Copies of this chain bind each other. A is one copy, B any other.
């Protein structure tokens, strides 16, 4: 039904128009003149009528040829646009990455990291959202984001996890708390004090210190509330070091040494699913910055 026009002959036609003749076009296109003639003839046959006037020496467009010229130009330009956009993506000069990260990473690590990335890849757009590790997991799994930065939650063979950094767990308390002067802690020494649980408390699970959780009666998920409670001296809590809010002068972080606990923070992506070039660039950048 429809003839299939190839783009090359269209370029030939445009070159003939621009250069003013078959010979000139051939020279510009690094082709022989017969190649141009034959391609044009073939094109004219497909279209059912000539584009150039026949007989008289010069190459001049027929009325139909005049009609065709702007559309050929547009079509070729459209092709080139798609091409160069695609290539820009391949070359990581354009594109976008959607990232999800746990709040501590999002607020403490990402700002400087992303600033550096943006400087290296000015064409790439980024969206960063935070969520607790379970939610990050889910966002990656559902494809809402391409990359997640989180502590490994539920190992899943449809997800791949690449470790980026370790984050040791410690106790957070007010500066006038008896524990505040310690530099290392055994979990037993926490027993006497009221413990406020938070979203990161499950990191204690599976360790001897898990016993502490059973005696706790307070669970605060919101970070602002949690720090307020700690500043008020209501109790102590455990947090990964990265989640410890340094901007509160009266709070202290004391590492837990026995048992030594850490969360392993890493890059989460869907296994068996390749990344967009932009996400690939982001991955490489993060590994370069954090892992070495």
Add 14 more A-B contacts to A5-B82, A6-B6, A75-B78 (CB < 8 A): A4-B7, A7-B7, A47-B90, A53-B272, A62-B276, A63-B275, A63-B276, A64-B277, A71-B82, A71-B86, A72-B82, A74-B82, A75-B79, A78-B78
Asked if A127 is at the interface of the complex by the 8 Å CB criterion, the answer is: no
CB 8 Å contact bits of A43-56 with B (1 = contact, 0 = none): 00001111001011
Q: Once the chains are docked, how many angstroms separate the CA of A89 from the CA of B48?
A: 10
Residue of B nearest to A65 (CB): B274
Point out the residues of chain B lying under 8 angstroms from A211, CB to CB: none
Residue of B nearest to A86 (CB): B47
CB 8 Å contact bits of A12-28 with B (1 = contact, 0 = none): 00000000000000000
Point out the residues of chain B lying under 8 angstroms from A49, CB to CB: 90, 277
Interface residues of A (CB under 8 A from B): 2-8, 47-50, 53, 55-56, 62-64, 67-68, 71-72, 74-75, 78-80, 82-87, 89-91, 95, 146, 272-277, 279
- State whether A83 and B2 are in contact (beta carbons under 8 Å apart), knowing that A47-B90, A63-B279, A75-B78 are contacts in the complex: yes
A-B pairs with beta carbons under 8 Å apart, 26 shown: A2-B80, A2-B84, A3-B87, A4-B7, A4-B83, A5-B83, A47-B90, A48-B91, A53-B272, A53-B274, A55-B272, A62-B274, A63-B276, A63-B279, A64-B86, A64-B90, A64-B274, A67-B86, A67-B89, A67-B95, A68-B86, A71-B82, A71-B86, A72-B82, A75-B78, A75-B79
Point out the residues of chain B lying under 8 angstroms from A55, CB to CB: 272
- Output the least CB separation between A251 and chain B (Å): 42
Residue of B nearest to A275 (CB): B63
Residue of B nearest to A72 (CB): B82
Residue of B nearest to A279 (CB): B63
Q: Once the chains are docked, how many angstroms separate the CA of A56 from the CA of B4?
A: 33
Point out the residues of chain B lying under 8 angstroms from A53, CB to CB: 272-274
Point out the residues of chain B lying under 8 angstroms from A86, CB to CB: 47, 64, 67-68, 71
Q: Once the chains are docked, how many angstroms separate the CA of A274 from the CA of B67?
A: 13
- Output the least CB separation between A276 and chain B (Å): 4
Question: Does A3 lie within 8 Å of B75, measured CB to CB?
Answer: no
Point out the residues of chain B lying under 8 angstroms from A4, CB to CB: 7-8, 83
Residue of B nearest to A91 (CB): B48
Q: Which of A5, A55, A71, A274 has the most CB of B within 10 A?
A: A274
Q: Which of A68, A78, A86, A87 has the most CB of B within 10 A?
A: A86
Q: Once the chains are docked, how many angstroms separate the CA of A53 from the CA of B275?
A: 10
- Output the least CB separation between A49 and chain B (Å): 5
Q: Once the chains are docked, how many angstroms separate the CA of A53 from the CA of B272?
A: 8
Point out the residues of chain B lying under 8 angstroms from A75, CB to CB: 78-79, 82
